[in-house]
Amino acid sequence: RAGANAEAILTRMHSRGKENDDAPKPTTRCFNAVLLAYANGKQKGGGKRALELLRFMESLHSEDYVDCQPDSYTFNIVMKALTNSKETGAAQKANQLLRRMERSNDKGSTLQPDIFSYNIVLDAFSRIGDAESAEKLLQQMYDRSERGSIAKPNAHSYTAVLTAWARNGDGKAVATTRAEELFNNFERKYAAGETDVQADTSVYNALINVWAKSGERKALYRVTQILSTMEELGLQGGDESVAPNSRTYCAVLDCIARSRNFKAYNKALEVIKRMEDFYAEGHESVRPCARAYSIVISTIARSRKRDKAVKAQEMLRRMESEYVKGNVAARPTVYSYNGVLNAAAFTSGDERDQEEAFRVACLTFDELRISEYLQPTHVSYGTFLKSIRKLMPDSEIREKLVTSVFRRCCKEGLVGEMVLREMKALSSPDFYQSLMTGYDTKLGIPPKSFSANVVERDYDWRE
């Protein structure tokens, strides 16, 4: 509530200033400080309140409060508050403020939009995936710069537009086409001597994200091609401005995982190995992180390899080894463990393969349960129960294991939809009801305490 608290102080200052001519009165700097608190905060309605403060500021200036005139920084902060608020229509409102700045400047006012003004609005369009509006604004920046505007598009501007295309839901084929055209235009301008528009790591990452989210068949080839270019220019060629970072590799690995290509398994292992090797050579920007390893584990789990549970476990061990060696970014997360459990649960093959997969599932679940810094989630329990159902033959031993796991799950308040679904598939109605004996249930629905620590959407049975 930093914004509201700062505004309360501003309101008191204004009230005292009206009552006492000698008391300090709010100035542009005071208003900007309050607006900045709203822009940087996460208070609900912060964007709307910042806009109202701007109007109040303008009304005070019209009443001869000469030190309360909004400046370019004021407008930038309000637009930033709108962008960060994620309120409906925020991008359009920010764009309207930008238009006001342009009109005022065209009439000779000192209220001139700068590169930050335009990039803030581009970010606003980017957040909602309004790629067409973002691209239109980018062109307007070029048009105005030719007429003397100081705001000429830079790498951030292009990154925002490319990100808008990545988030655009109207057509992925259109998104990749437009993204490539934008990128090529950017490169042509640089080649023509416009050195202030050089593509950097953020631009390359944004282009990779467009392809990664497109689902197109050639996405896998294109993102690995872009990564190779960045490695060649940045890591091997010494141009740090285009060197890939951990985010680059995660985006590429995410594309590989989404591709469902038969080459995905080997490609993912190849990319994570390159990441590890470059980091070992001293390139800190490509430090292998938990997200990268977790995506690789997920890719392994989706493969058709008969030994994928073992391979996923080996990748988890590599994470742990990196973490022990001092790479804190590689510390395994619950998603890493859940990925290994998932690989085990979906293992096919002969009896020996399934026995090995079940051994991996049991060991992984136990390690997660006794971890010093992690704890199972409802997905962990659900996936482990799925492993029991698919890999362990029906027997009295299985029934005892299911009973033990489910009761522990209930005790920890992690009975989510997946757990219930697996329990119904694992056990007969009579067995399931026997587990509910002694608890206050209605129509077989577990009490709310059983799901107290579950975080998931559409959790209807808890309502």
Q: pLDDT above 70 covers what percent of the chain?
A: 96
| DSSP-assigned letters across all residues of 216-249 | -TTHHHHHHHHHHHHIIIIIIT--GGG---HHHH
- Euclidean distance between the first and final Cα of the chain, in Å? 30
* E strand intervals along 197-319: none
Q: Is the pLDDT of residue 451 over 80?
A: yes
Comparing 193 with 287, which gets the higher pLDDT?
287
pTM: 0.86
Q: Is the dihedral of CA 240, 242, 243, 245 positive or negative?
A: positive
Q: Say if residues 383 and 334 touch (Cβ distance below 8 Å).
A: no
**Hey, what are 391's tokens?**
């890999």
pLDDT above 90: residue 63? no
Strand partners, 445: 442
pLDDT digits (tens, 9 = 90+) for 359-372: 999 999 999 999 99
DSSP letter for 5, please.
H
**Residue 345 in contact with residue 386, Cβ under 8 Å?**
yes
Apex 25 CA angle, 20 and 26, nearest 5: 150
**Separation of alpha carbons 296 and 179, rounded Å:** 26
Is 93 within 8 Å of 82 (Cβ atoms)?
yes
pLDDT at 341: 98
**DSSP designation for 41:** S
61-89 burial, b at 16+ Cβ within 10 Å, e below that, comes to: eeeebeebbbebbbbbbbbbbbbbbebee
pLDDT exceeds 60 at position 196: yes
- Closest alpha carbon to 51 in 17, 83, 23, 21: 83
Reported as a single tens digit per residue, the pLDDT across 115-131 is: 999 999 999 999 999 99
CA 145/CA 153 separation, integer angstroms: 9
Per-residue pLDDT band for 439 (boundaries 50, 70, 90) equals: low
